């Protein structure tokens, strides 16, 4: 996989996004065991009246794939049987259902990977990302999108602007995490933002925070290369820390780099240390967003943070973010090309996995 956990897979296809053989059996990449991926047939459901068939052109490989591949689990999700992988994707519409009005064959689309139930309280209340019956690509037992073709609801497939590539469209998924985090934290002009963890989600959180108007962004990480990438994206300051650095020293370095108070911290790691850093660095009355989920359990200094009314905000996936992301990409307010250049475009899974 690419440095920092991400690579782009380009599917083989004919001109104009059409299959080189419309009768070709649909194939997908399946995680069948520890460190074992196999390319096997993937039978698609029939297209419903509100569905479309999409031929995949760009699919992103990221950290959750590595967890599934190495351990057959990620957070609370366990792979108990072969599972198709990946959920960040874009492609060409090749067939539409009888009731679909927003898309036509040949349209280039970015795909939002979750299918909600529309019936539960969360869906009806607009927070469909919390739907208990969500069917989300590459989340056991639901299969993913690293396949020749998929069938998906048309209203979860978003037409790409003319000036946005398919590879950029696939990046809407990780960008959506950063956008949703900014919406949850109410980031805007005047919000000083700390990003803890400069992996891919951390980098996209940087881009989103700047697009939302954050005037000062500081990024913290233990890896110098990741910090250099963040600096190239326009962050104001970076702070390199270590696993054994004293917490008080770390907080002091961050506050010095910020040159003022931290209004919002994005913990894009999700560990005891990163969360403690966020809680101790963020100003009284500020917010700490849990974006990363490295550990299932954390032991953190909540009483002191509660006494300062530091709000702890959960961030789970995203909702209604694709139109926002595509508008940011269309207008140039966010440019993901540097991340595409950094993490590369891979012609096959094995190359992407090794890189």
Say what the pLDDT of residue 13 is. Answer: 39
pLDDT band at 355 (very low <50, low <70, confident <90, very high): very low
Q: Where in the chain is the domain with CATH 3.40.50.720?
A: 177-314
Q: What is the pTM of this model?
A: 0.89
Range 39-45 average pLDDT: 94
CATH number for the region 7-171+336-354 comes to 3.90.180.10
Q: Where in the chain is the domain with CATH 3.90.180.10?
A: 7-171+336-354
Residue 215 has pLDDT above 70, yes or no: yes
Q: 10 Å Cβ neighbour count for 157?
A: 25
Say what the pLDDT of residue 207 is. Answer: 98
- Percent of the chain past pLDDT 90, that is, above it, reads 77
Say what the pLDDT of residue 245 is. Answer: 93
- For domain 177-314, give the fold: Rossmann fold (3.40.50)
Residue 345 has pLDDT above 50, yes or no: no
299 CB-near residues (< 8 Å, 6+ apart): 272
């Amino acid at each position: 996989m690419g440095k920092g956990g991400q690579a782009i897979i380009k599917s083989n296809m004919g001109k104009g996004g059409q299959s080189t053989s419309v009768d070709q059996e649909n194939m997908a990449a399946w995680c069948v065991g520890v460190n074992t991926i196999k390319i096997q047939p993937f039978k698609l459901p029939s297209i419903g009246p509100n569905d479309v068939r999409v031929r995949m052109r760009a699919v992103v490989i990221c950290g959750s794939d590595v967890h599934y591949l190495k351990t057959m689990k990620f957070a609370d999700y366990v792979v108990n049987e072969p599972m198709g992988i990946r959920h960040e994707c874009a492609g060409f519409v090749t067939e539409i259902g009888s009731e679909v009005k927003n898309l036509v064959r040949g349209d280039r689309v970015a795909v939002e990977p979750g299918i909600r139930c529309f019936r539960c309280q969360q869906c009806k209340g607009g927070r469909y990302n919390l739907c208990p019956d969500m069917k989300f690509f590459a989340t056991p037992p639901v299969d993913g999108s690293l396949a020749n073709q998929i069938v998906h609801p048309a209203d979860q497939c978003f037409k790409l602007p003319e000036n946005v590539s398919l590879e950029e469209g696939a990046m809407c998924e990780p960008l959506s995490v950063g956008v949703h985090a900014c919406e949850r934290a109410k980031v805007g002009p005047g919000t000083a933002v700390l990003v803890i963890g400069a992996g891919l989600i951390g980098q996209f959180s940087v881009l989103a925070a700047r697009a939302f108007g954050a005037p000062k962004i500081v990024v913290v990480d233990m890896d110098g290369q990741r910090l250099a990438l963040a600096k190239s994206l326009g962050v104001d300051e970076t702070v390199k820390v270590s696993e054994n650095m004293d917490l008080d020293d770390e907080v002091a370095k961050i506050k010095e780099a910020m040159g003022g108070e931290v209004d919002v911290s994005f913990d894009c790691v999700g560990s005891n240390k990163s969360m403690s850093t966020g809680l101790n660095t963020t100003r009284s009355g500020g917010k700490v967003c849990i974006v990363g989920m490295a550990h299932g359990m954390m032991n953190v200094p909540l009483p002191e943070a509660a006494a300062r009314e530091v709000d702890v905000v959960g961030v789970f996936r995203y909702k209604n973010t694709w139109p926002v992301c595509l508008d940011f990409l269309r207008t140039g307010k966010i440019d993901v090309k540097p991340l595409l250049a950094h993490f590369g475009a891979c012609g096959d899974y094995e190359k992407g996995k090794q890189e």
